[in-house]
Amino acid sequence: MSTISCVIWDCKVRDRQIVVDGQGVAMYIMSMVIEQEIISDEEIRRQKEKARRLRKSNWWMRRIQEGVCYYCYQKVGRSNLTMDHVVPLSRGGKSTKGNLVPACKDCNNKKKYLLPIEWEEYLKTLSERSHTI
Ligand SMILES: [Zn+2]
């Protein structure tokens, strides 16, 4: 894998071929935009560490006390709740109290494997369901 540093944008472009024709240049610029949104491993590591500390805090204990999933409102018990970043770390989310919610394993897995758009759809069906109950 080749890494090209881009000084102007302060980002790295990985695995991109620079093609000199008009279309190639356009593609190269596009890939830089995408790459810029990717958060550094160091930052993710720092945020994960912060999340680990928060998981031991009284704030989190209170948060999971009811044992209810933030997304589907199901009562699954505190031992079945995982800590979830509403905005994922890989998308620039931080380990702050506002961005950390208890999620059941079902929701957590879905969130991990669904595309953001599919996840939105899932949340929509959940809220529709809770309205009909
Ligand atoms: Zn859930």
In the chain, what percentage of residues exceed pLDDT 70? 68
What is the average per-residue pLDDT within 50-75? 97
Set out the domains of the chain in order of their start, with CATH numbers: 3-36 (no CATH), 41-132 (1.10.30.50)
Q: What was the pLDDT predicted at 12?
A: 47
Rg of the chain in Å (alpha carbons): 19
Count Cα neighbours of 13 within 13 Å in the Cβ-side half-sphere: 16
Distance from residue 86's CA to the centre of ligand 1 (Å): 13
Q: Which residues contact 74 (CB under 8 A, 6 or more apart)?
A: 68, 104
Taking the centre of ligand 1 as the mean of its atom positions, its distance from the CA of residue 71, in whole angstroms, is 5
Q: How far is the CA of 41 from the centre of ligand 1 (A)?
A: 28
Asked if 97 and 125 touch (Cβ cutoff 8 Å), the reply is no
Q: Which residues contact 70 (CB under 8 A, 6 or more apart)?
A: 84, 101, 102, 103, 107
What's the pLDDT tens digit per position in 30-39? Answer: 454 445 556 7
What's the confidence (pLDDT) of residue 82?
A: 96
- Residue 112 has a pLDDT of 87
Ligand 1 mean position, distance from CA 95 (Å):
20
Tokens of 100: 């950390």
Predicted TM-score (pTM) of the model is 0.67
